[in-house]
Structure 1
Amino acid sequence: MKSIKIVFSLLVFTLAVSAKAAPLLNGLALEKQFNKELYIAAIYSENLSGDSAGLLNSELLRRLEVRVLASSLPARRFRNQWMEGIAINNRGDTLSSQAETMVTFANLFKGRFLRGDQLTIDFAADTGITTVALNGITLGEINDPDFFDTLMRAWVGPVPPSTDFRDGLLAAGNIPSGLLTSFEALEPSSERIAELQLKQISQEEALAAAQEPEKEEVLPKPTLAAVELAPPTMTLTPAAAETIEVIDLVESAAGAETTDQLLQSAGEPRQLAGVDSAEANQLAATDAMESSADTAEMLEEEEEAPLTADMILARQIFHSTLLRHTFSHIRYPKRAQERGQEGSVRLHVVIDSAGDIQEIQTVQDSRYSILNREARAAVERAAPYPSVPTQLGSEGFSFSLPITFNLPD
């Protein structure tokens, strides 16, 4: 009888450990850009929480997950958006101390994501290791207990991609059934998994070959027969102060170097149901343009110089300078305040080397046109922007600009 009790106790303990190893789904958020659904983001945690402070806890087992909705999503674009969010939502000393790990993280993203791909980022509280995997295939590990929180703040920090995005992730388990169904239905095909496995094997073999010491060539002794050898293979509320404070702290990176010093040290550089034919043609043209842009982006990635810690930090500092410059020109429309209108707008801005605006695109708009107009007007009022440091290239600079209009409670 005693042995049965012992076995039962061990079974209960094993189940408890297994349950602990599976964090709970805290929330989901849909990411859209240019009115196109790109992916669904998720946060898992041992403890459900409705605020970011409850999730930013290095003692908790946690996971960030992305499931791709778009037919094709350049990994470089996805990575750059996340890196911008990291720069906006983390203190300067954090960015400085995490610069090397940022390089490791950024270099994990190559090629493009396809619909159904599942990117997971797991944090093990007992070891402090963050593991990045795509469709169950490990891409890399980062052994820094603070790194996971640095990533998460890009989603749930003071300046998230949008307030709806952050609110969805901070749902404390109260998730809309429709979004959950869509999320659970996104899975990679067996062919896609096999493709990634083969690619990983090839990369590992290439790495192993590169690490092998060169062997002295031994020439064969001449014989009568010749032997042929085979060749070798902004929030406008009291919270605005917090947002601007976060951005100001970027330039104090560890308090050791000035912005100019850091910049100087950086390296160089179909007929659809319910859609008429005209609209279908317009959709097809848009898809073609996006495909062309994706191809150009992948060619740029192939030509891109290897990322360095100095370059990443320099870009983050300049980006924060541009955001602070824009935020000082934003005005909360009085009519919107009187009507209680709130919302988030995200713009994509391109400036030339002198700081003049070349392009303003709306990546994500709010439901209120008055807020959308003010966001664009603020960018126009902010021109010209600070000139682009020569260390970051001579062809200009593009950046994301998230603006959140919130009324005080």
Structure 2
Amino acid sequence: MKPIKFVIALMVFATALSAQASPLLNGLALEQQFNKDRYIAAVYSETLANSTEVVLDNNTPRSLEVRIVADSMSARRFRNQWMEGIAINNGGDTLTSQADNMVTFAKLFNGRLKKGDHLTVAFAANTGATTVALNGVTLGKIEDRKFFNTLLRAWVGPVPPSSEFRGGLLAAGNVDSSLLSRYEQLKPSGDRIAQVRAQVESLNAEQEDKTEVAAAKPAPAATKPKPTKPKLTADIPPPTLASIGDKPASAMKKVEAPKPSKPKPSKAALAREMEEDDEDEAPLTADLILARQIYHSSLLRHTFPYIRYPKRAQERGQEGSVRLKVTIDSKGDVTDIQTLQDSRYSSLNRAAVDAVKRAGPYPAAPPQLAKGNFNFTIPITFRLPD
């Protein structure tokens, strides 16, 4: 009887360990644009933590989840915002090595995301694979152990969407009860799940047809190989927070009064504009994605020296995050500045806009991107030393 009891004890112990190893909700964060709620992001991990280093442990199974709050969202806009965060929170070597994976990831996003949708990005520590699913329907898988952290750094890296956003995700399980309740109530309908499944099956069938047609074509005659272009490489120093103290004279351009222009559209109109899909977006390639990431990072690097922490805000202990949408033309001249997310303090909001005005003109766009205007976002964090 004793051996049997010992086996049973081992089984109970293994079951307990398995239960303990289930993913735990580490934190939640609400994303807003133009003061409108967009989605709630979540980080799950076997180990609850309030530090970036622990959450980025590649030996731990983890997952990211996004639940859509807005009635409708452009999947492409959502993806582009995520990729901007990747560009400014990962080193040059990572951006270069992950460019092909970013193409695969980006092509998974089509159409529109609807209220209640669950987007899940799960990392399997035993295989290193990252699986992307929408409402339980698998969209794709990326077999690269380093890819998941490339995505996660966009949320918890040195320049997150906002300091509040990162703080919410790094809550070590201590989440806001009202936000958690709202998060748990967001669920896709049965019809929506069926719609997503049908769309994915249709795309997969279309891809299989293309593969069969390509396989049926006769092999092309041998030709002299074309010289390959050297792959772009990124060399991007990390951006900094808003600075306190004196700046060199070169960084203290006078903020000029804005030129007379036609009345700006309302925030509602701007929100609608943000929801429009970019129908004329160029076909995604690794070089194009990397060019966008490098250029976007260079624009932020160009901006940060011009950010000034208002002295009155320092004296009052005021801190906060501001996120701006900036439009520049092909020469780098600023044509528009809009506030996607503001802080509680008007002085910090003005300081962020003034920094962009001082920073212009920006470096001209590279040839691959020098067609019309270029839009990019700038997250600026005003934080006092501890």
| TM-score normalised according to structure 2 size | 0.84
- 1:279 is matched with none
Alpha-carbon contact 1:237-1:408 (below 8 Å) kept: no
- 1:235 is matched with 241
Offset at residue 321 of structure 1 (A):
1.1
2:333 pairs with one of 345, 348, 356: 356
Superposed, 1:151-170 pairs within 5 Å as 151-170=151-170
Rounded Cα–Cα distance in structure 2 between residues aligned with 1:38 and 1:171: 20
Offset at residue 351 of structure 1 (A):
0.4
Cα 1:291–1:379 change in 2 (3 A) is closer
Alpha-carbon contact 2:323-2:378 (below 8 Å) kept: yes
1:376 pairs with one of 338, 353, 359: 353
Residues 161-186 of structure 1: per-residue CA shift (max 9 Å, x gap) = 00000111111111111010001110
Superposed, 1:8-19 pairs within 5 Å as 9-19=10-20
Unaligned runs of 5+ in 2: 218-239, 245-265
Q: What secondary structure, in the 3-state scheme, does the structure 2 residue paired with 1:76 have?
A: helix
Rounded Cα–Cα distance in structure 1 between residues aligned with 2:368 and 2:109: 23
What's the C-alpha RMSD, in Å, of the aligned pairs? 1.9
Size of the aligned set, in residue pairs, is 341
Residues 338-374 of structure 1: per-residue CA shift (max 9 Å, x gap) = 1111111100000011111111000001111001001
> Which amino acid in the other structure matches residue 98 of structure 2?
Q
Q: Does 1:319 align with 2:296?
A: yes
Superposed, 1:191-340 pairs within 5 Å as 191-212=191-212, 234-237=240-243, 290-291=271-272, 294=275, 297-298=276-277, 300-301=278-279, 303-340=280-317
Residues 37-56 of structure 1: per-residue CA shift (max 9 Å, x gap) = 00000111111111111111
Rounded Cα–Cα distance in structure 2 between residues aligned with 1:62 and 1:135: 18
1:403 pairs with one of 371, 380, 384: 380
- 2:52 is matched with 52
> Which amino acid in the other structure matches residue 348 of structure 1?
K
Unaligned runs of 5+ in 1: 217-233, 239-284
Q: What secondary structure, in the 3-state scheme, does the structure 2 residue paired with 1:172 have?
A: coil
Residues 18-50 of structure 1: per-residue CA shift (max 9 Å, x gap) = 542x21111000000100000000111111111
Cα 1:344–1:289 change in 2 (3 A) is closer
Q: What secondary structure, in the 3-state scheme, does the structure 1 residue paired with 2:306 have?
A: coil
Q: Does 1:95 align with 2:95?
A: yes
Cα 1:288–1:63 change in 2 (3 A) is same
| TM-score normalised according to structure 1 size | 0.79
> Which amino acid in the other structure matches residue 40 of structure 2?
I
Larger radius of gyration: 1
- 1:228 is matched with none
> Which amino acid in the other structure matches residue 56 of structure 2?
L
- Once the two structures are overlaid, the 10-residue window that deviates more, 352-361 or 386-395, is 386-395
Rounded Cα–Cα distance in structure 1 between residues aligned with 2:378 and 2:345: 18
Q: What secondary structure, in the 3-state scheme, does the structure 2 residue paired with 1:328 have?
A: helix
Name the % identity.
Answer: 58
Offset at residue 305 of structure 1 (A):
2.3
Offset at residue 291 of structure 1 (A):
4.2
Superposed, 1:51-130 pairs within 5 Å as 51-130=51-130
Structure (1/2) with the larger helix percentage = 1
